[in-house]
Structures are given as C-alpha cells and as structure tokens.
Amino acid sequence: MTGRPIAMWPILRALFARELRLVLRGGHLLPVLAFVFICVMLMPFGLGPELSLLQRLAPGLLWVIMLMAVLLSLDRMFQADFEDGGLDQLLLLPIALEGAVIAKICAHFVGILLPVLAAIPLAGLLLNIHPDAVLPVLATLLAGAPALVMLGAIGAALAVGVRRAGLLTVLIVTPLYVPVLVFGAGGLARALAAPGMLDVGALGVLGLISMASLFLAPPAIAAALRAGLR
C-alpha cells in the first residue's frame, strides 16, 4: 500500500536478534544446563557405579537427556507472547507468521540448544563415554535436533493460552518424538556396535525427518498460533 517493496530478510534478522536477546536475558540457559548435569550426575546412582555399563549406556542416555532438555526449554516458548500481546504484534508484522515463527525458533535453538549440544561431550565424559562414541553422538544429535525443536514448537503453539500448558505440550509432543528417538538412539547403538564408523543410514533418515519437519512444521505452528488468538 505504501508503494515500496518490503525486504523480508532484514525483518527476519531483526526478529531473530530480538528473540535471541530475550532468550539470553531470560536466563533460561542455565537451568537447562543444570538439568543436563543433574541428570548425568544422577545416572551412576541409578545404574550403579559399574563403569563399563555406564559406558555402554552413555550414548542412549545422552539422547534421552537431550530430548528432555529440548522439551523443558520449549515448553513456554509462545506463552509469554500470548500473554503480553506480543503475539498480536507478530501477526501484524510485514512478514508471514511462518517466517516469524522460524526466526523465533532459530533464536531458541542458538540461545539454548547449541550451548546444550556443546555441553554434551562434557556430560558424556562424566558418563565415562568411549572417546570413539563422542563424534557419532554429536552427529546424530545435530541431525536430529531440528526435528526435536520443530515438533516441540508445534506442541508449544497448540498449548498456547491453555492452563498448565507445559504438561499438555509434553503430552502432545513426546509421542511425536518416538520415531526421532528410534532412529537417533537406535542408529547410534548400531553405529557403536561397529565402532569407528557412523551409521550413515540412520543419520540420513534423521536428516530427512529434520528436513521434513523444517518444511512442514512452520505452517502447522503458525496455524496453531492463529487458532490460539483470543
């Protein structure tokens, strides 16, 4: 209407920058990291101090822990926007809501999940992980993380404005996580059985699931947010 074309890219970048700042100021990172290390610390008590058993289980445990960390951190991703009217403003932006959603998710990914990923090798060390296993674990986690995040965001968006949204999110999201976990931890286990090499098949499937969710989730999330407007 104002006649001049609007460039989408700078808007997305600005939104990403703002969300990243909000995430960092919100102090969400430390509790999530603390959660990871509490879990890791707890495991030897649960499993008994047998190092070889711990070593065997470490990769799978790291996957489960990562998954829960994602759940914990995404839980209220859109809730604040909903409550303070920020969601209304997102809808009035000169970009599609889908784009805004992607920018927000990227900010969460960079602000919370990348640091968690970076902490995974250290956590693995505490679990006495085999050095050869670190790379496959990281590779599968990296390949699977986008899917985890996107599916989690669908749940968070569906639960917007709902009481006790966090738990509802968990209920909605976790069943969707199972296939990712099957290929992630399962593929990992197979890769580690034949040490020294990555299970390219499982990695490929994980990547595919991630790619698919990168494309399919944003419209679902945007639709869920629109449905959540009051």
Partner 1 sequence: MVNTEYFSGAYADFSRAAMSGDALCLRADNLACVRGLRVVFADLNFAVAAGGILHVSGANGAGKTSLLRMICGLLAPAAGHISLSGNTALARQSHYLGHADGLKNTLTPRETMIYESRLMAAHEACAPEDLLAHIGLAKQADQRVGTLSAGQRRRLALSRLLAAPRPIWLMDEPYTALDTAGRDLVDTLMRCHAEAGGMVVLAAHEAVPLADAQLVLDA
Partner 2 sequence: MLERLENLSALYANPRRFMNLAARVHTPLWLVAVGVLAFGLFMVSGVPDDYQQGATVRIMFVHVPAAWMALFAYSFIFFASLLAAVLRHPLGYLAARAAAPVGAVFTLVALVTGALWGQPMWGTWWVWDARLTSVLVLLFIYLGYIALWEAIDDYGRAARATSILAFVGFVNVPIVKFSVDWWNTLHQPASVSRFARPALHADFLYPLLVMGVAFLLLFLAITLTRLQMEVLRQRLRVRQSAG
Q: Is residue 17 a contact residue for partner 1 (CB under 8 A)?
A: yes
Which of the ranges 9-17, 56-64, 104-112, 122-130 carries the binding residues for partner 1, by CB under 8 A? 9-17
**Residues 146 to 175: which contact partner 1 by CB under 8 A?**
161, 163
Q: Which is nearer to partner 2, 54 or 66 (CB)?
A: 54
Binding site partner of 126, from its own copies, partner 1, partner 2, none, Cβ cut-off 5-8 A by kind: partner 2
Candidates 8, 53, 182, 211; binder of partner 2 (CB under 8 A) is: 182
Alpha-carbon distance of 154 to 160, in angstroms, equals 10
Q: Which residues make Cβ contacts (< 8 Å) with residue 27, sequence separation at least 6?
A: none
**175, two tokens:** 């069943």
Query: Is residue 89 a contact residue for partner 1 (CB under 8 A)?
Result: yes
The span from the CA of 75 to the CA of 108, in Å, is: 11
Residues 76, 27: Cα–Cα separation, whole Å? 13
Angle formed by the axes of helices 131-158 and 97-108, nearest 10°:
140
94 binds, among its own copies, partner 1, partner 2, none (CB under 5 to 8 A by kind): partner 1
Contact status: 201 vs partner 2 (CB under 8 A): no
On whether the CB atoms of residues 199 and 188 are closer than 8 A, the answer is yes
The listed partner (partner 1, its own copies, partner 2, none) that binds 220, CB under 5 to 8 Å by sort, is partner 2
